[in-house]
Amino acid sequence: MSETQPRPAPGSEQDDAHERDILAEIQAEVARDLAEERPPAGGPAYQVVSAAALLVLGLVAAFLAHGYGLGSLRRPGPGLWPFIVSLLVVVLAVVLLVVARRLTDTERFTRSSLLVLAGAATFVGLGVLLPVVGFEIPAVLLSIVWLRFLGGESWRSTIVISVLTTAAFYGLFLYGLSVPLPHLIAF
């Protein structure tokens, strides 16, 4: 609006139209920014490869979780909930494999796709280290890697969130759910 034109009175139809115009401009600008940052589109083959990778990851995670012992619903073992989540991942991967050829919203693999692989690899590392050194150290290390190196958080927030998150899960699993996780610290 130029300096010579008076601003519409608040609450008037002109003012409402002016606000809608500003919002439309902002929405268009955000849409352009998102379109510029989006990786190039992939095809159905990318869907199939992603679903197959997810299926393998879910199966490996289910196998590792089963190795920790499932227990029962009344007395869950340390592998019960990871096993359930792994089965859910497997089911979702199978569904994705079935419908993958009809989907068009896939992005091509880029350098940022490696962040997902790094996250998955560190999660598998947590599963491998858990029975060896307990819950606390791998959980803090996983949080640090995800927050600082994959998420770009500051060191201060990384340390605080990592320690608090590990403590919260420690209390939830060991005391709230009575899951006998391997751990180094006994209170």
Give CA separation, 139 vs 25, 105, 166, 169, 185, in Å.
45, 34, 6, 9, 13
Is 146 in the same domain as 157? yes
Q: What is the mean pLDDT of residues 29-46?
A: 75
Q: Is the pTM of this model over 0.85?
A: no
Is 105 in the same domain as 58? yes
Is residue 96 within 8 Å of 47, Cβ to Cβ? yes
Is 164 in the same domain as 132? yes
Domain holding 17, by residue range, is 1-38
Please report, as a single letter, which amino acid is at residue 23. Answer: L
Is 187 in the same domain as 140? yes
Is 104 in the same domain as 115? no
DSSP conformation class of 145 = I
Number of domains in the chain: 3
Is 100 in the same domain as 128? no
Is 14 in the same domain as 29? yes
pLDDT tens per residue, range 56-92: 999 999 999 999 888 888 888 888 999 999 999 999 9
Is 68 in the same domain as 25? no
Is 145 in the same domain as 174? yes
